[in-house]
């Protein structure tokens, strides 16, 4: 398995381009299932998870063409509305094919994603919504079986804010008979990007970005071209990497408008942030102030940035309280950070981080995507060499991470 070797201490400086958003591309590629016409996507990040999804769509009969960051999908030959366990177990976001398959084919057999390192990750809200729209849904032998002649518009209310739940139900409603209203909808920018793509394909959607989304179903959708929005979590991750090293960087092909909560915290930590139309610059002091945070659905502080902020708090001045309110087990990076000398105490869903003068390089193990990112951030500032094992987690969500970090002056290399 690949490892990442980082020699800590380099101040990051320079410019790097941010890729398209993984968590926008995943639902948006699934939207191609909703039409028999080809759909072209640009700024698609070249990530393991994207490759997994394209393979999943290919085995359903979707024609996949890929050239660099452009992907064209043609689902006219869709003949196998099945997502098998062997593929779904490697990427739980595969559940996003459920809504489109039921809407387009009237049936779907999708393996339950199962849990992952950060939590149980149930999909009960996805199922509840489809049932409310008239689908007959059975869960047996680890698969969700859904059938319906045609979905009917309905008023849906999700028990908690769920990003992929909102996305699945919005895609299903696009072809339903009548109007669907999703209340308590997720407001994440990736939900808005998906809605914009669906509207370009002929869907009638209003309210995306608010907690009430209205979808008026249509008979069919048509082809379109859509550019994937920038990855705000990749952006935030590089901002943290620059901040913790006292660096000064400019990130292009991205925007600060989806990161207000994160940028506020970086400024509280003592950083200067300058926003341009499609770039963000950050310069950091030699030592950051500790910043407390509480994760919550957008527009509040994103759970996907919690691990990275725990890392920068490890060497900040003061004590930080970090509360994780979205997932039940998203502090696994803490024990790995402690191996680097961090002073962290976990009490339920709260972590208390006492900043220390320095971290010392060691061998650590990645456990999930964002936990791995926090170990990279810590390794950049730890004294000596840090070896991060199991970095396949990183490859799922960060395109060419070591190349981009090296371009900013980090001493990092991959050991295959």
DSSP string, 72-137: EEEGGG----EE-HHHHTT-GGGGGGHHHHHHHHSEEEEE----BTTB----HHHHHHHHHTT-EE
Q: Is 226 in the site for ligand EPZ (CB under 6 A)?
A: no
User: In this complex, which beta carbon is closest to ligand EPZ, that of residue 37 or of residue 85?
Assistant: 85
User: In this complex, which beta carbon is closest to ligand EPZ, that of residue 238 or of residue 382?
Assistant: 238
For 23, the enclosing helix (H) or strand (E) is helix 22-31
**For residue 221, how far is the Cα from the chain centroid?**
26
Among 56, 93, 137, 401, binds ligand EPZ (CB under 6 A): 93
User: In this complex, which beta carbon is closest to ligand EPZ, that of residue 174 or of residue 394?
Assistant: 394
Q: Is 240 in the site for ligand EPZ (CB under 6 A)?
A: no
Q: Is 168 in the site for ligand EPZ (CB under 6 A)?
A: no
Choosing from 30, 105, 116, 240, which is the catalytic residue? 116
Q: Is 160 in the site for ligand EPZ (CB under 6 A)?
A: yes
Q: Is 217 in the site for ligand EPZ (CB under 6 A)?
A: no
Among 245, 303, 308, 374, binds ligand EPZ (CB under 6 A): 303
Q: Is 143 in the site for ligand EPZ (CB under 6 A)?
A: no
Minimum CB separation of residue 397 from ligand EPZ in Å reads 6
Q: Is 9 in the site for ligand EPZ (CB under 6 A)?
A: no
Among 238, 301, 327, 398, binds ligand EPZ (CB under 6 A): 327
Segment near ligand EPZ (CB under 6 A); pick from 32-40, 73-81, 163-171, 359-367: 163-171
Q: Is 108 in the site for ligand EPZ (CB under 6 A)?
A: no
Q: Is 125 in the site for ligand EPZ (CB under 6 A)?
A: yes
Minimum CB separation of residue 384 from ligand EPZ in Å reads 29
116 catalytic residue (yes or no): yes
How many chain residues bind ligand EPZ (CB under 6 A)?
22
What Rg, from alpha-carbon coordinates, does the chain have? 21
Coil, helix or strand for 360?
A: strand
Minimum CB separation of residue 185 from ligand EPZ in Å reads 11
Could you list the active site residues?
Answer: 116
Binding residues for ligand EPZ (CB under 6 A) = 23, 26, 93, 119, 121-126, 160, 162-165, 303-304, 326-327, 369-370, 397
């Amino acid at each position: 398995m690949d490892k990442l070797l980082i020699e800590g201490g380099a101040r990051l400086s320079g410019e790097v381009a941010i890729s398209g958003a993984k968590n926008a591309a995943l639902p948006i590629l699934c939207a191609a299932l909703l039409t028999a016409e080809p759909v072209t996507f640009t700024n698609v990040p070249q990530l393991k998870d994207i490759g997994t999804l394209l393979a999943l769509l290919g085995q359903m009969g979707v024609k996949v063409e890929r050239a660099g960051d452009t992907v064209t999908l043609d689902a006219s030959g869709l003949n196998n509305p099945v997502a098998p366990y062997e593929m779904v177990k490697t990427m739980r976001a595969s559940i996003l094919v459920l809504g489109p398959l039921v809407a387009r084919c009237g049936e779907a057999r999708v393996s339950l994603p199962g849990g992952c390192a950060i939590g149980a990750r149930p999909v009960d809200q996805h199922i509840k919504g489809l049932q409310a729209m008239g689908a007959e849904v059975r869960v047996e032998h680890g698969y969700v079986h859904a059938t319906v002649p045609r979905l009917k518009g309905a008023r849906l209310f999700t028990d908690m804010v769920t990003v992929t739940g909102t996305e699945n139900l919005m895609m299903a409603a696009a072809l339903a008979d009548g109007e669907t209203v999703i209340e308590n909808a997720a407001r994440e920018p990736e939900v808005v990007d998906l809605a914009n793509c669906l509207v370009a394909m002929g869907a009638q959607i209003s309210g995306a970005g608010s907690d009430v989304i209205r979808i008026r179903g249509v008979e069919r959708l048509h082809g379109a071209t859509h550019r994937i929005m920038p990855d705000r979590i990749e952006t935030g991750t590089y901002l943290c990497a620059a901040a913790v090293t006292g660096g000064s960087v400019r990130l292009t092909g991205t925007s600060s408008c989806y990161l207000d909560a994160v940028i506020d915290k970086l400024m509280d930590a003592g950083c200067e942030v300058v926003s341009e139309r499609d770039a963000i610059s950050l310069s950091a002091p030699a030592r950051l102030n500790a910043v407390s945070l509480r994760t919550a659905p957008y527009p509040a502080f994103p759970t996907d940035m919690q691990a990275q902020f725990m890392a920068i708090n490890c060497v900040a001045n003061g004590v930080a309280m970090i509360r994780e309110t979205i997932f039940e087990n998203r502090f696994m990076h803490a024990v790995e950070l402690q191996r680097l000398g961090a002073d962290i105490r976990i009490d339920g869903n709260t972590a208390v981080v006492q900043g220390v003068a320095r971290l010392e390089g060691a061998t650590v193990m990645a456990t999930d995507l964002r936990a791995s990112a926090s170990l990279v951030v810590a390794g950049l500032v730890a004294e000596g060499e840090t070896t991060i094992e199991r970095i396949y987690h990183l490859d799922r969500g960060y395109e060419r991470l070591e190349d981009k970090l090296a371009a900013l002056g980090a001493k990092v290399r991959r050991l295959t």
